[in-house]
Amino acid sequence: MTNALALPLDHLVINTHFEMNAAQTIFEQLGFTLTPRGRHSLGSINHLMVFENDYLELIGLPSDGGPLRKEVLESPVGIDGLVFQTADAAQTHQLLQANGLAVQPVQAFTRPVELEGVVSEARFETVRFEPGQFNAGRLYYCKHFTPELVWRKEWQAHRNNVHKLAGLLIVCESPQQEATRYMAAAGGIARIGANGEYRVRGAQYSLVFVTAAQYVECFGSLTCVGGKRSSFFGAIALQTSSLKPVRQALKQMQKHGLHTITWREQAGRIAVQIPGFNTLLEFVDKAIH
Protein backbone atom coordinates (compact mmCIF):
# COMPACT_ATOMS: atom_id res chain seq x y z
CA MET A 1 0.00 0.00 0.00
CA THR A 2 1.34 3.41 -0.95
CA ASN A 3 0.13 6.98 -0.58
CA ALA A 4 0.47 10.03 -2.79
CA LEU A 5 2.14 12.08 -0.07
CA ALA A 6 5.24 9.90 0.51
CA LEU A 7 7.00 12.76 2.25
CA PRO A 8 10.65 12.62 3.37
CA LEU A 9 11.59 12.81 7.03
CA ASP A 10 12.68 16.32 8.05
CA HIS A 11 13.54 15.95 11.73
CA LEU A 12 12.73 14.31 15.06
CA VAL A 13 12.25 16.26 18.28
CA ILE A 14 13.18 15.70 21.94
CA ASN A 15 11.33 17.93 24.42
CA THR A 16 13.53 19.15 27.28
CA HIS A 17 11.10 21.68 28.86
CA PHE A 18 13.26 23.94 31.09
CA GLU A 19 16.30 21.60 31.22
CA MET A 20 17.95 22.56 27.94
CA ASN A 21 21.37 23.18 29.51
CA ALA A 22 21.57 19.65 30.92
CA ALA A 23 20.37 18.11 27.64
CA GLN A 24 22.89 20.12 25.64
CA THR A 25 25.74 18.85 27.82
CA ILE A 26 24.69 15.19 27.52
CA PHE A 27 24.33 15.26 23.74
CA GLU A 28 27.65 17.03 23.28
CA GLN A 29 29.32 14.38 25.44
CA LEU A 30 27.72 11.70 23.25
CA GLY A 31 29.70 13.15 20.34
CA PHE A 32 27.12 15.35 18.63
CA THR A 33 27.86 18.80 17.23
CA LEU A 34 25.07 21.13 18.34
CA THR A 35 24.10 24.34 16.58
CA PRO A 36 24.15 27.55 18.65
CA ARG A 37 21.01 27.98 20.74
CA GLY A 38 18.10 29.35 18.75
CA ARG A 39 14.93 31.09 19.84
CA HIS A 40 11.69 30.74 17.90
CA SER A 41 9.21 33.55 17.52
CA LEU A 42 6.62 31.12 18.95
CA GLY A 43 8.27 31.06 22.40
CA SER A 44 10.65 28.08 22.40
CA ILE A 45 14.42 27.53 22.28
CA ASN A 46 16.37 24.84 20.45
CA HIS A 47 19.60 23.18 19.42
CA LEU A 48 19.93 21.08 16.27
CA MET A 49 22.10 18.08 15.41
CA VAL A 50 22.24 18.42 11.64
CA PHE A 51 22.92 15.43 9.39
CA GLU A 52 23.07 14.96 5.61
CA ASN A 53 19.38 15.52 4.81
CA ASP A 54 17.62 15.63 8.19
CA TYR A 55 18.29 16.54 11.83
CA LEU A 56 17.55 15.82 15.47
CA GLU A 57 16.21 18.75 17.47
CA LEU A 58 16.35 19.48 21.18
CA ILE A 59 13.48 21.82 21.94
CA GLY A 60 12.84 23.58 25.21
CA LEU A 61 11.38 26.62 26.94
CA PRO A 62 13.12 29.89 27.89
CA SER A 63 13.53 30.62 31.60
CA ASP A 64 13.96 34.38 31.31
CA GLY A 65 10.30 35.28 31.67
CA GLY A 66 9.56 35.46 27.95
CA PRO A 67 6.51 33.91 26.26
CA LEU A 68 6.25 30.11 26.43
CA ARG A 69 5.25 27.94 23.49
CA LYS A 70 2.02 26.28 24.63
CA GLU A 71 2.33 23.01 22.69
CA VAL A 72 5.85 22.41 24.05
CA LEU A 73 4.85 23.27 27.61
CA GLU A 74 1.83 20.93 27.50
CA SER A 75 3.76 18.00 25.97
CA PRO A 76 5.83 15.67 28.19
CA VAL A 77 9.61 15.60 28.37
CA GLY A 78 11.04 13.04 25.96
CA ILE A 79 10.75 12.08 22.29
CA ASP A 80 7.88 14.26 21.19
CA GLY A 81 8.08 15.23 17.54
CA LEU A 82 7.92 13.44 14.19
CA VAL A 83 8.28 16.00 11.42
CA PHE A 84 8.04 15.39 7.70
CA GLN A 85 9.43 17.73 5.08
CA THR A 86 7.17 19.44 2.58
CA ALA A 87 7.98 21.62 -0.41
CA ASP A 88 4.55 23.30 -0.22
CA ALA A 89 2.75 23.63 3.11
CA ALA A 90 -0.53 24.75 1.55
CA GLN A 91 -0.58 21.78 -0.82
CA THR A 92 0.21 19.36 2.01
CA HIS A 93 -2.63 20.91 4.00
CA GLN A 94 -5.00 20.21 1.12
CA LEU A 95 -3.78 16.62 0.67
CA LEU A 96 -4.21 15.84 4.35
CA GLN A 97 -7.73 17.19 4.33
CA ALA A 98 -8.46 15.11 1.22
CA ASN A 99 -7.30 12.06 3.20
CA GLY A 100 -9.87 12.84 5.87
CA LEU A 101 -7.43 14.25 8.43
CA ALA A 102 -8.24 17.36 10.49
CA VAL A 103 -5.44 19.91 10.30
CA GLN A 104 -4.87 23.38 11.69
CA PRO A 105 -4.19 26.41 9.45
CA VAL A 106 -0.67 26.72 8.07
CA GLN A 107 1.56 28.34 10.69
CA ALA A 108 4.53 30.62 9.90
CA PHE A 109 7.38 31.37 12.31
CA THR A 110 11.05 32.39 12.42
CA ARG A 111 14.22 32.28 14.50
CA PRO A 112 17.37 34.41 14.18
CA VAL A 113 20.63 32.74 13.09
CA GLU A 114 23.96 34.52 13.55
CA LEU A 115 26.77 33.61 11.15
CA GLU A 116 30.10 35.47 11.22
CA GLY A 117 28.52 38.40 13.02
CA VAL A 118 25.61 38.71 10.61
CA VAL A 119 22.11 37.89 11.88
CA SER A 120 19.65 36.36 9.40
CA GLU A 121 16.15 34.97 9.86
CA ALA A 122 15.48 31.27 9.39
CA ARG A 123 11.89 31.03 8.12
CA PHE A 124 9.49 28.12 8.28
CA GLU A 125 5.87 27.13 7.65
CA THR A 126 4.30 24.14 9.39
CA VAL A 127 1.11 22.12 9.06
CA ARG A 128 -0.13 20.60 12.32
CA PHE A 129 -2.96 18.26 13.19
CA GLU A 130 -5.93 19.08 15.35
CA PRO A 131 -5.38 17.48 18.80
CA GLY A 132 -6.31 13.86 19.47
CA GLN A 133 -5.45 12.23 16.14
CA PHE A 134 -1.91 11.00 16.86
CA ASN A 135 -1.48 10.28 20.56
CA ALA A 136 2.17 9.19 20.46
CA GLY A 137 3.45 12.75 20.10
CA ARG A 138 3.40 15.81 17.91
CA LEU A 139 3.31 14.90 14.21
CA TYR A 140 3.57 17.71 11.69
CA TYR A 141 5.08 18.97 8.43
CA CYS A 142 7.74 21.63 7.88
CA LYS A 143 8.55 23.82 4.89
CA HIS A 144 12.04 25.38 4.97
CA PHE A 145 12.37 28.73 3.20
CA THR A 146 16.00 29.14 4.29
CA PRO A 147 17.61 25.65 4.28
CA GLU A 148 21.04 27.26 3.91
CA LEU A 149 20.68 28.45 7.51
CA VAL A 150 20.13 24.87 8.75
CA TRP A 151 22.20 22.47 6.62
CA ARG A 152 25.69 23.91 6.99
CA LYS A 153 28.94 21.94 6.74
CA GLU A 154 30.30 23.21 10.04
CA TRP A 155 27.32 21.65 11.84
CA GLN A 156 27.13 18.36 9.93
CA ALA A 157 30.32 16.68 11.20
CA HIS A 158 29.83 14.71 14.44
CA ARG A 159 32.49 12.93 16.49
CA ASN A 160 30.17 9.92 16.85
CA ASN A 161 29.97 9.63 13.03
CA VAL A 162 26.16 9.84 12.96
CA HIS A 163 25.06 11.02 9.52
CA LYS A 164 21.32 10.42 9.30
CA LEU A 165 18.10 9.60 11.11
CA ALA A 166 17.35 5.95 10.43
CA GLY A 167 13.89 5.75 11.98
CA LEU A 168 11.47 6.06 14.86
CA LEU A 169 9.84 3.33 16.95
CA ILE A 170 6.23 3.85 18.03
CA VAL A 171 4.75 1.82 20.92
CA CYS A 172 1.00 1.25 20.58
CA GLU A 173 -1.84 -1.17 21.26
CA SER A 174 -2.49 -2.12 17.64
CA PRO A 175 0.63 -1.82 15.43
CA GLN A 176 -1.19 -2.69 12.20
CA GLN A 177 -3.94 -0.14 12.76
CA GLU A 178 -1.48 2.54 13.87
CA ALA A 179 0.78 1.93 10.87
CA THR A 180 -2.19 2.42 8.55
CA ARG A 181 -3.01 5.77 10.20
CA TYR A 182 0.57 7.01 9.82
CA MET A 183 0.60 5.96 6.18
CA ALA A 184 -2.48 8.11 5.61
CA ALA A 185 -0.47 11.00 7.06
CA ALA A 186 2.83 10.59 5.22
CA GLY A 187 2.74 7.67 2.79
CA GLY A 188 5.24 4.84 2.60
CA ILE A 189 5.08 1.06 2.19
CA ALA A 190 4.00 -1.23 5.04
CA ARG A 191 5.28 -4.71 5.82
CA ILE A 192 5.43 -7.09 8.76
CA GLY A 193 8.88 -7.47 10.31
CA ALA A 194 10.63 -10.65 11.40
CA ASN A 195 9.48 -10.23 15.02
CA GLY A 196 5.87 -9.40 14.26
CA GLU A 197 6.34 -5.63 14.30
CA TYR A 198 4.88 -3.43 11.57
CA ARG A 199 7.22 -1.27 9.54
CA VAL A 200 6.35 1.67 7.33
CA ARG A 201 9.22 2.40 5.03
CA GLY A 202 9.64 5.89 3.65
CA ALA A 203 12.49 7.54 1.79
CA GLN A 204 15.62 6.45 3.69
CA TYR A 205 13.88 5.82 7.02
CA SER A 206 11.50 3.42 8.77
CA LEU A 207 8.67 3.89 11.23
CA VAL A 208 8.45 0.76 13.39
CA PHE A 209 5.24 -0.04 15.30
CA VAL A 210 5.33 -2.46 18.24
CA THR A 211 3.21 -3.43 21.24
CA ALA A 212 4.37 -2.61 24.77
CA ALA A 213 5.33 -6.27 25.27
CA GLN A 214 7.44 -6.30 22.09
CA TYR A 215 9.08 -3.04 23.17
CA VAL A 216 10.14 -4.44 26.54
CA GLU A 217 11.31 -7.67 24.93
CA CYS A 218 13.56 -5.69 22.61
CA PHE A 219 15.00 -3.09 25.01
CA GLY A 220 14.43 -4.43 28.53
CA SER A 221 15.20 -1.88 31.25
CA LEU A 222 16.17 0.80 28.71
CA THR A 223 12.57 1.47 27.69
CA CYS A 224 10.91 4.87 27.93
CA VAL A 225 7.75 5.54 29.94
CA GLY A 226 4.55 6.26 28.05
CA GLY A 227 2.78 8.01 30.91
CA LYS A 228 -0.84 8.82 30.16
CA ARG A 229 -0.43 8.37 26.42
CA SER A 230 -2.08 5.31 24.84
CA SER A 231 0.83 5.23 22.39
CA PHE A 232 4.23 6.91 22.50
CA PHE A 233 7.50 7.39 20.64
CA GLY A 234 9.79 4.73 22.11
CA ALA A 235 13.18 5.06 20.38
CA ILE A 236 15.07 7.10 17.80
CA ALA A 237 17.40 5.19 15.46
CA LEU A 238 20.52 7.02 14.26
CA GLN A 239 22.78 5.67 11.54
CA THR A 240 26.53 5.92 12.07
CA SER A 241 29.44 4.77 9.94
CA SER A 242 31.09 3.25 13.03
CA LEU A 243 29.97 2.37 16.55
CA LYS A 244 33.49 2.78 17.95
CA PRO A 245 33.30 6.53 18.74
CA VAL A 246 29.87 6.07 20.34
CA ARG A 247 31.25 3.28 22.52
CA GLN A 248 34.26 5.41 23.49
CA ALA A 249 32.07 8.39 24.38
CA LEU A 250 29.84 6.26 26.60
CA LYS A 251 32.81 4.73 28.41
CA GLN A 252 34.28 8.17 29.02
CA MET A 253 31.00 9.41 30.46
CA GLN A 254 30.83 6.42 32.79
CA LYS A 255 34.48 6.66 33.77
CA HIS A 256 34.18 10.27 34.85
CA GLY A 257 30.76 9.78 36.44
CA LEU A 258 29.30 12.57 34.35
CA HIS A 259 25.84 11.04 33.99
CA THR A 260 24.07 7.82 34.94
CA ILE A 261 24.08 6.57 31.36
CA THR A 262 22.57 3.12 30.81
CA TRP A 263 23.42 1.40 27.55
CA ARG A 264 23.59 -1.99 25.90
CA GLU A 265 25.44 -3.16 22.82
CA GLN A 266 24.22 -5.86 20.47
CA ALA A 267 25.37 -6.89 17.01
CA GLY A 268 25.58 -3.74 14.91
CA ARG A 269 23.84 -1.41 17.37
CA ILE A 270 24.10 0.36 20.70
CA ALA A 271 20.98 1.38 22.66
CA VAL A 272 21.35 4.31 25.08
CA GLN A 273 18.85 5.57 27.67
CA ILE A 274 19.28 9.33 28.25
CA PRO A 275 18.84 9.98 32.00
CA GLY A 276 16.20 12.51 33.00
CA PHE A 277 14.85 12.94 29.48
CA ASN A 278 12.78 9.77 28.91
CA THR A 279 14.66 9.23 25.65
CA LEU A 280 16.08 6.08 24.08
CA LEU A 281 18.60 6.39 21.25
CA GLU A 282 19.69 3.45 19.14
CA PHE A 283 22.91 3.92 17.19
CA VAL A 284 23.06 1.54 14.23
CA ASP A 285 25.91 0.91 11.81
CA LYS A 286 23.60 -0.02 8.97
CA ALA A 287 20.14 0.99 7.74
CA ILE A 288 17.36 -0.50 9.84
CA HIS A 289 15.10 -1.16 6.93
Relative orientation angle of helices 244-255 and 20-29, to the nearest 10 degrees? 120
pLDDT exceeds cutoff 50 at 222: yes
Q: State the pTM of this model.
A: 0.95
pLDDT top residue among 237 and 5? 237
Q: What's the rounded Cα separation, in Å, for the pair 210 and 149?
A: 36
Mark which of 132, 156, 180 sits at the end of a domain: 156
Q: Which helix (H) or strand (E) holds 98?
A: helix 89-98
Calculate mean pLDDT across residues 60-77: 93
**Residue 5 pLDDT:** 52
Sheet strands (E) in 129-174: 138-144, 162-171
Q: What's the rounded Cα separation, in Å, for the pair 276 and 17?
A: 11
**Residue 6 pLDDT:** 67
Q: Is 154 left (phi over 0), alpha (psi -120 to 50) or beta?
A: alpha
For 39, the domain range is 9-156
From 220, 187, 219, 192, select the one nearest 205 (Cα to Cα): 187
Could you tell me if 140 and 168 lie in one domain? no
pLDDT exceeds cutoff 60 at 130: yes
Cβ pair 102, 129 in contact under 8 A: yes
For residue 13, give the CATH number of its domain: 3.10.180.10
Could you tell me if 106 and 231 lie in one domain? no
Calculate mean pLDDT across residues 87-116: 94
pLDDT top residue among 201 and 210? 210
Please tell me the total count of domains within the chain.
2
Is residue 4 domain-resident? no
Is residue 192 domain-resident? yes
Could you tell me if 102 and 67 lie in one domain? yes
Q: Is 84 left (phi over 0), alpha (psi -120 to 50) or beta?
A: beta
Q: What are phi and psi of 237, to 5 degrees?
A: -100, 130
From 202, 126, 192, select the one nearest 168 (Cα to Cα): 202
Is residue 242 domain-resident? yes
Could you tell me if 256 and 134 lie in one domain? no
**Residue 287 pLDDT:** 43
Mark which of 118, 137, 156 sits at the end of a domain: 156
Summarised one tens digit per residue, pLDDT across range 21-67 is 999 999 999 999 999 999 999 999 999 999 999 999 999 999 998 89
Mark which of 102, 137, 156 sits at the end of a domain: 156
Could you tell me if 16 and 149 lie in one domain? yes
Could you tell me if 149 and 26 lie in one domain? yes
Could you tell me if 174 and 143 lie in one domain? no
Could you tell me if 167 and 134 lie in one domain? no
From 259, 262, 207, 213, select the one nearest 235 (Cα to Cα): 207
Could you tell me if 134 and 35 lie in one domain? yes
Could you tell me if 183 and 144 lie in one domain? no
Could you tell me if 225 and 135 lie in one domain? no
Could you tell me if 89 and 212 lie in one domain? no
Is residue 3 domain-resident? no
Q: What's the rounded Cα separation, in Å, for the pair 24 and 109?
A: 23
